[in-house]
Copies of this chain bind each other. A is one copy, B any other.
């Protein structure tokens, strides 16, 4: 009916196959000589684990919103997986990891994964197929965008979200990923340590969430109507799958199946545990030890250990986890006292947890754990701490500022929010034409 522009896409879609095919005509030939099957197995398994984290975030968030917005929340996360996967293959991977342009961004040489094949790329991972690296990294881009859903729930227009997400992935995520992780990226060249995405994933999404929430504005009835989480077992399902998937996230970031991967695995689990216990104790001291708190504590610990996982040992992990519990707890408490509807505390948990983790890496990092890493303050290298702080400041500022601008633009052009009545009825009905649960 009204959506004629969508209809007009159809012939274009039919055409697409033909065009794209050309680019694929000469995929890289397999030269498997240097591939290690064990390393490849672990990285592929890890990529699968990280993919699972995106629906997991969907459940984690959906359980915390009201029933009438449950599907909207899940669907935004799910569609991010699709959207970013395609963006990544078409140009996202190339922008992030492609041939460096002045330390700032990758070129388009690897667009459509041209020249990216089954043989390893020794710059990134010498013992696994280049395609394994590509897909492992794809999952990181996806989950980072999915994290932003937590800040826009219950009021964003679905179409506006899709547009914003595409822009954000390209202009914020891909850029920061290049700076921190790509050969030639300027923060990497500076010596910033980020084992599995403390800055790239968590600081970037956390600070962006704050900017986005400020542009988007509060939910109708925020602070006045009760907004009870509608399904806490669903939240725990999400948290459980996140904990599970995070082993791929962190230990997979060793890009090999070795002692370092095992170390990252152990410290990931340990930090999550420490943070969970601290959150439990803190919330107990203020009231009762709730399930939501415990689940949030676990995520905070996982966030904080992310940049450090390949540079610190298990005892430092306890400290990092405990610090995450403490800092994120008070960050969430602080935010809930303000009048900012950063709805599901992406800033409080991922932003502040990521900042703490990145800085803590500058304290606790040790070449005993990873000879390819660096020593932190506690091992006599205060400079590393400084570098970490610079990286945090740069990533925070860039992501907050660009997000603010993008959000303002999208708001001006298509409008970020649904109509008031649509918000009242709920986004499930108004944006997706569905109800999460039938009455009978």
Q: Interface residues, chain A, CB within 8 Å of chain B?
A: 3, 6-7, 9-10, 13-14, 16-18, 20-21, 23-27, 29-30, 32, 35-42, 44-45, 47-49, 51-52, 54-56, 58-59, 62, 66-68, 70-71, 74-75, 78-79, 81-83, 85-86, 89, 112-113, 117-119, 128-132, 134-135, 138, 158, 228-234, 236-237, 239-241, 243-244, 247-248, 251, 256-263, 265-266, 269-270, 272-274, 276-278, 280-281, 284-285, 287-292, 294-295, 298, 312-316, 318-319, 322-323, 326, 364, 366, 368-369, 371, 378, 428, 431-438, 440
Decide if A431 touches B288 in the complex (CB within 8 Å).
yes
Decide if A231 touches B436 in the complex (CB within 8 Å).
yes
Contact of A257 among B38, B294, B369 (CB under 8 A): B38
Decide if B233 touches A62 in the complex (CB within 8 Å).
yes
A164 to chain B, nearest CB (A): 16
Provide the residues of chain B in CB contact with A292, threshold 8 Å: 434
Decide if A27 touches B313 in the complex (CB within 8 Å).
yes
Decide if A6 touches B284 in the complex (CB within 8 Å).
yes
Can you name 12 extra interface pairs (CB under 8 A) apart from A82-B272, A131-B259?
A13-B281, A20-B315, A24-B366, A44-B257, A44-B262, A67-B440, A75-B291, A79-B277, A117-B263, A118-B260, A231-B436, A232-B434
In the bound complex, CA of A37 to CA of B35 (Å): 12
Q: With A24-B314, A131-B263, A251-B44 given, is the CB distance from A66 to B319 under 8 Å? A: no
Q: With A9-B281, A233-B70, A233-B234 given, is the CB distance from A32 to B318 under 8 Å? A: no
Q: Which residue of B lies closest to A301 (CB)?
A: B82
Decide if A285 touches B7 in the complex (CB within 8 Å).
yes
Provide the residues of chain B in CB contact with A366, threshold 8 Å: 24, 27
Decide if B55 touches A240 in the complex (CB within 8 Å).
yes
Contact of A134 among B78, B266, B289 (CB under 8 A): B266
Decide if B71 touches A291 in the complex (CB within 8 Å).
yes
Decide if A315 touches B272 in the complex (CB within 8 Å).
no
In the bound complex, CA of A10 to CA of B261 (Å): 33
Q: With A37-B42, A243-B51, A269-B85 given, is the CB distance from A229 to B438 under 8 Å? A: yes
Q: Is the interface of A mostly helix, strand, loop or mixed?
A: helix
A61 to chain B, nearest CB (A): 11
In the bound complex, CA of A262 to CA of B159 (Å): 33
Please, could you name 16 A-B residue pairs with CB atoms under 8 Å apart, sorted by A?
A: A9-B281, A13-B326, A23-B315, A26-B368, A37-B38, A37-B257, A54-B240, A66-B438, A82-B298, A89-B315, A117-B263, A118-B263, A129-B262, A129-B263, A132-B262, A291-B434
A313 to chain B, nearest CB (A): 4
